[in-house]
Chain A
Amino acid sequence: MQTKPRFRFLPSPLHSLLLFTVWLLLNNTLAPGHLVLAAFFAITIPLLTSGMQDPHPRFHRPLLALRYVLRVLGDIVIANFEVAILVIRPSKHLNPAFVAIPLSITHDLPITLLASTVSLTPGTVSAEISEDNKWLYVHVLNLMDKDALITLIKQRYEKPLMEIFECSI
């Protein structure tokens, strides 16, 4: 499950691609000089930092990941409307709560992604992870049904992440 460098001079191809794109976006250009500079950064920075990387699960199924990103972006829009309505309504209707969500997902990177998604989407902010990485504590702005919320997060966000990273249960 862990990443092994497949090519000696390109230890993490995805990071290289990311660096290349981000450099071009930063400069808002496709000029040949910047292409060369971006390629230089994309090759040297992963080489210099490869020793510092923690092993993390390999990234499988890019199409599923794309679908996940699009779904989260859509959910962010919906969550925005919901929170906006809750903010405008008088606060006495609010029903805030702390909820502990049991995690089936393992490894730091997928858990971080799940916690960030949970903070951005359904009226929840992730607050803490238990030391054994088995429970995610979230604060809910307006709790309707605790079990429904846990099922929603597990089905809608955790399951696709587990498939993307192919974490075993």
Chain B
Amino acid sequence: MEFWVELVASILLVTGATFAFIGSLGLAKLPDFYTRLHGPTKATTLGMGCLLIASMILVTYWQGYLSVHELLITLFLLITAPVTAYMLAKTAMHHKLQILEKTTDKTLSKRAAERMTP
């Protein structure tokens, strides 16, 4: 029993860590500000999710009571990640940050910054 619990938890931990790493890698590697936003909003969500499930399983197993704190962290993460991305994108458009040359419909960002219809 203990072996299986630890096996599942370690698989989740490794997967979670990999996704969190890929999210951060995206932040460092992708070419412009807007593409960099995608790393932390997506890859990191699943990474954190895996880590939190692993934590739930381990704490529940070791402590002997059901640990549900982690669900709350997931909830807050899912609420805050899109809002942060939205605020960052909005700020970037107002600062007229450089957009990658090959981006399709680049001019839309100017319309968006003024909150006009396209």
Q: How far is the CA of A143 from the CA of B90 in the complex (A)?
A: 20
B96 CB-CB contact with A under 8 Å: no
Q: How far is the CA of A117 from the CA of B79 in the complex (A)?
A: 10
Residue of B nearest to A128 (CB): B112
A83 touches B39 (CB 8 A): yes
In the assembled complex, how far is the CB of residue A90 from the closest CB belonging to chain B, in whole angstroms?
A: 9
Chain B residues near A137: list those with CB within 8 A. Answer: 108-109, 111-112, 118
Residue of A nearest to B114 (CB): A131
B90 touches A96 (CB 8 A): no
Chain A contact-residue range equals: 35 or more
Q: How far is the CA of A7 from the CA of B68 in the complex (A)?
A: 31
In the assembled complex, how far is the CB of residue A124 from the closest CB belonging to chain B, in whole angstroms?
A: 8
Q: How far is the CA of A117 from the CA of B34 in the complex (A)?
A: 18
Known: A25-B72, A26-B69, A128-B93. A98 touches B109 (CB 8 A): yes
B112 touches A127 (CB 8 A): yes
Which chain B residues (36-65) contact chain A, with CB distance < 8 Å? 37-39, 41-43, 45-46, 49
Q: How far is the CA of A116 from the CA of B41 in the complex (A)?
A: 10
Q: How many A-B residue pairs have CB under 8 A?
A: 145
A130 touches B35 (CB 8 A): no
Instruction: Name B's interface SS.
Output: helix
Instruction: Name A's interface SS.
Output: mixed
Chain A residues near B23: list those with CB within 8 A. Answer: 87
B100 CB-CB contact with A under 8 Å: yes
In the assembled complex, how far is the CB of residue A32 from the closest CB belonging to chain B, in whole angstroms?
A: 16
In the complex, which of the residues A28, A116, A128, A131 has the most CB atoms of chain B within 10 Å of its own CB atom? A128
Q: How far is the CA of A22 from the CA of B79 in the complex (A)?
A: 14
Please give me the 8 A-B residue pairs with the lowest Cβ-Cβ distance, nearest first.
Answer: A97-B104, A119-B82, A80-B46, A116-B82, A87-B26, A127-B89, A98-B108, A137-B112
Known: A25-B72, A76-B45. A128 touches B89 (CB 8 A): yes
In the assembled complex, how far is the CB of residue B83 from the closest CB belonging to chain A, in whole angstroms?
A: 7
Which chain A residues (89-104) contact chain B, with CB distance < 8 Å? 91, 94-100
Chain A residues near B71: list those with CB within 8 A. Answer: 25
